[in-house]
Amino acid sequence: MGGILFSALVAGALSLFLSPLWIKYQTRRRMGQKIRIDGPKTHMVKSGTPTMGGVVVIIASSTAFLLFGHYSKEALVALFAYILCGLVGLGDDIISIRRERALGLRARTKLISQLVISVIFGYLAVEVLGLSTAISVPLTNLSLDLGFLYYPFIFLVLAATTN
């Protein structure tokens, strides 16, 4: 547990160090948030706000993991899924900046991307690593084997936590 805590502290410190640099870079390149004209007037103050903060978080946390992490196969598969989800978010932000409007990836495209990541993650976890499809029910001693429903469960968790 100490290694995980240390890694988290390093990731936080890296984020604090890299964030101002990233904000300055984006400000110089005018890569700020675009606000929809037909949206609420109160949102106009957000125009030009630096975006793509996930880049800093993913770089910092992945670097800390790779430097100080315990390289279990399970952790590497989770890191792979984490980075893939980050790439979807990055693509979403890049499209909104390039098109100079608030809309990035279409909802369908984002959901299909998340579905593909879920299937890859589920396959690697269950078929390659041999992990169980059972989940623990919080606050109980119960374990529930989802069987083939494990894959839709992964998708729901992934989509809910990354959107």
The pLDDT of residue 93 is 83
* pTM over cut 0.85: no
Structure confidence at residue 12 (pLDDT): 93
pLDDT at 41: 62
CA distance 49 to 35: 10
- The Cα 36–Cα 101 span in angstroms is 6
Low-confidence ranges of the chain (pLDDT < 50): none
The pLDDT of residue 155 is 95
> What pLDDT does 49 receive?
64
Residue with tokens 């606050």: 139
Residue 53: partners with Cβ closer than 8 Å, 6 or more residues away: 19, 22
* pLDDT tens, residue by residue, 50-73: 677 788 999 999 999 888 877 789
